[in-house]
Amino acid sequence: MCAVFGIVGKEPVNQEIYDALLLMQHRGQDATGIVTAHGKKINVVRGNGLVRDIFRTRDMRNLVGEMGIGHCRYPTAGNAGSYEEAQPFYVNAPYGIVLGHNGNLTNANSLQKTMYESDLRHINTDSDSEILLNVFAHELQKNSTGLNVSADQIFKAISGLHERVRGAFACVAMIPGFGVIGFRDPWGIRPLVIGKRQNKQSYDWAIASESVALQGLGFEIERDVRPGECVIVSLDGELLSQICSSKQSLNPCIFEYVYFARPDSVIDGISVYDARLKMGKRLGEKVKRLLGNGDIDVVIPVPDSSRPAALELSMTLNIPYREGFIKNRYIGRTFIMPGQEIRAKSVKQKLSAVTTEFKNKSVLIVDDSIVRGTTSKQIVQMAREEGAKKVTFASASPPIRFSNVYGIDMPTRSELIAYDRSEEEIRSELGVDNLVFQELDHMLRDVLSFNSMLDGLEASCFNGDYITGRK
């Protein structure tokens, strides 16, 4: 999972890209980069680490120009520690193209082989984003007829890209002297939204992974980029668009609503916060049906993304809601850290317990999901150590039994606690007295109820149904 951002304005855009990436830092903490264009010249600053750690005053001064793109990296393909895989990527021909990518390609290996053997393009990293950039560049080269690129050439290139690429992708690209480009996979798996802002002459335009980045910069939300669509923002502020794939179907990733996106974002017309509230209400109804509420003293969320669901669950059960875990804001999210040893070690550094909310109480702990189970087990252990007499654990999403190949760090099924285990076996493994999961049908139906224009939801990690055909 990554964050992408692109902007075309009438004033320098370096600070705005920086601010947008800060607003979307939750989508990736491993690396970041900003590229701006001033005339035909591009300026690049990239590095491994958080936005606040990479960019210095001298860097910002060098990032001159009235258009640019930015990226925060959460590695799901390639080498997590590689500086060379920090995005955006650049290729010099044709015209000079810079690209940032959110998602995963499912045919990356075959594409890389073809790029070398047939297209005569060298891929320097293990990143599928570099492959995607080179596919785009190759298709654009095929359609290039002069010294200057045109919108029609871009649309034809993206159409060619769709014929070759499989998987999930939401991208921003930039060609110096031309403009910023955004495009999205034909299934709409990864989010991409367009915003506009009045300037003295016309409009500034921006494209982002989440609406919160646009609103934080004073942009009015125009619309989401459609599945299979390519949008172009020219230097003079004109917005052009075209559907470039032969088939389109809007199936956003359910995990955006469960966990990844900020609660104040709206993705494909659905408020993430409202979706999480509804998940909590539905989960509360199931808890009440299975366990009642007479033996639960308090509802406690695992911060932060489970808070809306836990709050609604507590209201449904009419049981007090309490903040039993306090989060250290200066520790990274454990879910996106590479390496199981680091993940396990960081839980107690990340969370501390409020003893009075656990001692001699029957507690219901609510989390958005249970992936590997390592963090959940340590949280349960913390509750026991603080004196909880009974621990019930509720997940706002169903058991995750399948790997995700579209940009979430679930590379193998064997890493998942729910893989090849019954719910009773998962309960025993976690060491809880009761375990309640959300029902998949209920969750899908509830989220879809917010927007009738959606064709479905990408939920392969729950049901094993890979909509792009990968099994």
Residue type present at position 77: A
| Active-site annotation, residues | 2
Name the 3-class secondary structure at 190.
coil
10 Å CB burial of residue 234 (0-12, 13-18, 19+) is: middle
Q: Are 231 and 175 in contact (CB under 8 A)?
A: no
Count CA within 13 A, CB hemisphere, residue 322.
19
For 65-81, letters b (16+ CB in 10 Å) and e give bbbbbbbbbbbbbbebe
Pairing type for strands 3-8 and 390-395 reads unpaired
What is the rounded CA–CA span in Å between residue 347 and residue 26? 17
| Sequential DSSP letters for 85-133 | G-SSEEE-SSS-EEEEEEEEETTHHHHHHHHHHTS-----SS-HHHHHH
Between β-strands 298-301 and 362-367, what pairing exists: parallel, antiparallel or unpaired?
A: parallel
d(CA 69, CA 439): 39
**Alpha carbon separation from 461 to 327, 413, 423 (Å, rounded):** 27, 9, 16
Length of the chain (residues): 471
CA torsion, ordered 255, 233, 219, 32, to nearest 10 deg: 50
> How many whole angstroms separate alpha carbon 25 and alpha carbon 33?
12
Dihedral sign, Cα of residue 178, residue 64, residue 125, residue 24: negative
- Cα–Cα distance measured from residue 143 to residue 119, given in angstroms and rounded to the nearest whole number: 14
> For residue 148, which of 175, 111, 125 has the smallest C-alpha distance?
175
